[in-house]
Structure formats: structure tokens, C-alpha cells
Structure 1
Amino acid sequence: MAEVAIVASAFGAGVIRRDGHATWLEVAKAGGAHAFEVRRELMDDADASLDALRGLGTAFANAQMWSVWSTPDSLYAEDGALDASALREAVACAQALGARFVKLQLGGFAGDAHAAHLADVLAELGAKAAKATTNVVASETRLPRVVVENGQLEMGGRLAQFTGLFRALRASGHDGLLGMTFDIGNWQWTGEAPLMAAVALAPHVEYIHCKAVQGEGARRFPCAPAADDPLCRAALARLPSDVPRGIEFPFDETRLADDAARYVSWLGAA
């Protein structure tokens, strides 16, 4: 059985904004999930403060669950330069939360010129965490694993960008510096073949987002895969079997807790 995370948005953006993440991580726990993905875009500034995230991290520890810190910010700006400020902020938030992963969008990566800069910034953050005093929360002395996700936009959603990124890191001696969140459904927004992407990127995938897609063109939207969904099953067969899988499709609002339990069981065994 694979570890399964529930992405907060599966319960509905409005529900999370109304009740907060802590309420629904308990529902995720009751449904058998191992982890819960916290979404920055579903929080106001107060809830996303470092002190508030430390409090949320305590709720995770009490529930014996691990977390993912997800931000809509991109690792690379539109001009292709590393957005070091966004990376530092995302890591600080993830450390306060005690997250296992910190997930960003890839953004405008377009070449290998900034691979060394990324390595330098991550080395700086790792050294800072290692030197943290004993008065700092324990999770803030560890560097969460940085993963980049394929998004639904052209920028940051093309297979060539990801193969280029990992090739550049390898060429510069930084292979394994960061990993990937592979979103099975998102490739369809950018017209890429998910199975081709799965074969090409499998060595770098450390977290998987699972969802099916309905609609065409810009009017696509995520939905729950059928039990025998051929794309989902084929993609999972090509991706690492020992990495966590995240539920990122909406549950039925009339049976949120039941859907959580049902799909956690299904995805863990898929």
C-alpha cells in the first residue's frame, strides 16, 4: 500500500477557507490518509504567518500525520531567473509547518544558466537550518525536500522544461538536488502526453498528484478517476511505486468524509 495524502482542496476551497486546514486534517486522518497537503492559496495572511503555521504543525504532530506545504509561487520567474525570494519564503513556511515536502510550480525555467544558483541557495538554506539554535522548533532545523510540479499553464507545464531542468542539474554536478511532483491530470492542460512524461521523468518523481480530467480546451476541470481509469493506472504503473500519492480531485460535497475514506483506500492499492 502506498502512502496517500489528501490535498486540502479536495474538500472544497470554500470549506477550507471557512473552517481552516486543522479541522479537515482530522477528517483526512479519520479516512486513513497518511498526510495532508496545506495550500497557501486557501489561507489568509494571518493563517500563513510562521507562528500560525507552527500551531498547525502541532496539530499534525498530534494527529501523527505528515504534511506538504504547497505554494502557487514559481521557482523560476518569467525571464528564466531563479526566484530565490520565493524559494526562501516557501522553505521558511514549510519549516514552520514541519512539512516533509515544499512544493512550488516550476515557472519559467528555460535553460541551465541558473542551476548553480539554485544549488547555492539550497546550500545556504541547509546551512542556516543546521546552525539553528536549540530554542528553534525542531522542524525548523531540517530542510524540507523541495519538489516542483507540472502546472496547467504553458510556462511550467511543458515536458521539455522538466527534462531540461534535471539534465542541467545533472550536468552541473547537482543531480538529485530537488525532486518532482508529477500531476497526472495537469499534462492535459498543456497538450502533453502524460504517459510519455511519466517514462521520461520517473527517476525524479517523489510525489504524485492523482486526478482525472473532464472537458476540452480551457474548459477542463479535475474529477475523480473511475476505479478502472486507464490513464491513471497506466501512469502509476510507470511511476515509482514507493512514493506518496496525493488525492487532488474534488470529493462529493454531500459525503466528504465517506469519499475521503473511499478514495484513500482505492489510491493506496491502485
Structure 2
Amino acid sequence: MADAADVVIVASAFGTDAVRTGGHLKWAQASRQAGAAGFEVRRELFADETDATPHNLRVLGRQIAELGLWSVFSTPASLYTAQGKLDADALRLSIEEAIALGARFVKLQLGGFAADANAAVIADHLRCAELRLVVENGQLAKGGSLAQFTGLFDALAREGHGGLLGMTFDIGNWAWRDVAPLDAAAPLAAHVEYIHCKTVVGEGARRFPAAPAADDAQFAAVLDRLPRHVPRGIEFPFDTSRVETDAAHYVAWLAAA
């Protein structure tokens, strides 16, 4: 049997309002009880901007670590502006906040990357940071296309910084771009360091994240194509009538899938 994968629970799986009301620590505790290895803190779910101060991030980070969990710091900021330029200010702030939290990964959206990665500047920002920068395929046209991601990793290699950063491969988000996730997995697998696990129900603009079915052959095929050793994040909503049971069930299932 293959080794179990680390499973992370993304805070939003517990519900946006629940996290903003109860705070991240409450749901980190629930994640630990469910058997997760890690917990993804979502900056956009902070109840107040003061939650993002260095002091409060350090406190939260210590509390998460004391539970025996490692953390991901996720921000809605983009690495590149809509015009395709590196957003060095957003990168700097995101790294500073992730370091304060003590995160293993800092996750940004890709944004409007076009051609130049500006890899030397990214490398300079990451020089003393003991974390990994990962960019996620989003639901929007800018930052969600397969061509942008293959172009980014080609550009990093061309600029002499292959391996500088990795990818969060969101299986469900490809649906918003009408891309089959298995088609994206083949060219991107070598760069994937974290997986957001969800499927999608609905059509057009009314698409919603959902839990994969146990017999979902397409979802299983995508997982098989991606690296086995990278952590898998639960980013689909739990059933609010049985949150604890749902969380424990999906952690165990995804670890072994």
C-alpha cells in the first residue's frame, strides 16, 4: 500500500461565516481532531485586519503548532498584476505575514503573468525565508489558464531559476476555465507541491465546490497523475449537520486515496 499523504484542511471548508465568527484557531482545533496534518489559514477570512498584524499572526501560528499541525498561509493577493508585471509589494507582504505565522507554504494567485517571470527579484525576496512559495490556478481568465502556468515555469527555467517556486494545483478550479484537470496535470505535475482537492457541481457562472465521490474515476485519475508525496488540501464544504464526522471521514479517505 502506498504511504499515506499529508492532508490539510482549508479553513473555508468549515464555512466562511463560521471561520470569521469563531476564528481560525477554533477550526484548527477541529482539524486536529479530524486527524489532519496541516491547516490552511485564509487571509480573506480574518474577522478584522488586526488579525494580520505580525503579533497576532505569531500568536496564531504558535497555537496551531502547539496542536501538532503545520500551516499554509493563503492570501488572495496575486504574484503578477493584471498588466503582467511582478507585484513585488504583494509578494513582500505575503512572505512577511507567512513568516510571522510560521507557515510551511505561502500561497498566492498567479494573476496576469504574461512572459517575464522576473525571477531574480522573486529569489531575492525568498532568500531568507524558510517557506515555499506556491501559486494557484484560479477561477478567472487571468491566473487560471494552462498556458500561463506552463509559460511561467518555462520562463523561470529560462531565467536560470527553475524550481524557485511551486504550484498549488486546484483540481476543481480548472472547470471554470473549461480545462479537463487531467489535461492540466500532465504538463504541470513536475511543479506541483500542494493539491487543492474538490470537484465542481453546476454549470456556467453557477458552479460550486463539492466533495469528490468515492467512485469518481476522473478525480482518482488526476490524483494518480500528480505527485503522491505532496500534501492534499480539503477545500470543499463539509456538511454543516455533521462537520466533525465529515472532516474525519474525508481526512482518512484522502490520505489513502
Indicate the TM-score class for this superposition, using the shorter chain for normalisation: over 0.9
Q: Secondary structure at the match of 2:228?
A: coil
Write the deviation string for residues 170-192 of structure 1: whole angstroms up to 9, x where unpaired: 11111000000000000000111
Counterpart in the other structure of 1:238: 225
Offset at residue 119 of structure 1 (A): 2.5
Q: Secondary structure at the match of 1:177?
A: coil
Report whether the alignment pairs 1:155 with 2:108.
no
Q: How many residues align?
A: 253
Q: Is this contact kept in 2: 1:82–1:118, CA < 8 A?
A: no
Report whether the alignment pairs 1:64 with 2:65.
no
State the distance in 1 between where 2:65 and 2:175 align: 36
Q: Secondary structure at the match of 1:70?
A: strand
Percent pairwise identity: 62
Task: Kindly provide the amino acid, as one letter, of the partner of residue 14 in structure 1.
Answer: D
Q: Is this contact kept in 1: 2:119–2:161, CA < 8 A?
A: no
Report whether the alignment pairs 1:106 with 2:116.
no
Structure 1: which 5+ residue stretches go unaligned?
A: 130-141
Offset at residue 48 of structure 1 (A): 1.4
Q: Secondary structure at the match of 2:51?
A: coil
Offset at residue 49 of structure 1 (A): 1.3
Offset at residue 125 of structure 1 (A): 4.1
Task: Kindly provide the amino acid, as one letter, of the partner of residue 82 in structure 2.
Answer: E
Report whether the alignment pairs 1:88 with 2:92.
yes
Report whether the alignment pairs 1:225 with 2:212.
yes
State the distance in 2 between where 1:124 and 1:46 align: 24
Q: Is this contact kept in 1: 2:92–2:125, CA < 8 A?
A: no
Q: For 1:143-222, what aligned pairs fall within 5 Å after superposition?
A: 143-222=130-209
Aligned Cα root-mean-square deviation (Å): 0.9
Q: For 1:15-164, what aligned pairs fall within 5 Å after superposition?
A: 15-43=18-46, 44-112=48-116, 115=117, 117-126=118-127, 129=128, 142-164=129-151
Q: Is this contact kept in 2: 1:119–1:177, CA < 8 A?
A: no
State the distance in 1 between where 2:63 and 2:38 align: 12
State the distance in 2 between where 1:179 and 1:161 align: 14
- TM-score, with normalisation over the residues of structure 1? 0.92
State the distance in 1 between where 2:241 and 2:125 align: 47
Q: Is this contact kept in 1: 2:119–2:156, CA < 8 A?
A: no
State the distance in 2 between where 1:14 and 1:84 align: 31
Task: Kindly provide the amino acid, as one letter, of the partner of residue 69 in structure 1.
Answer: F
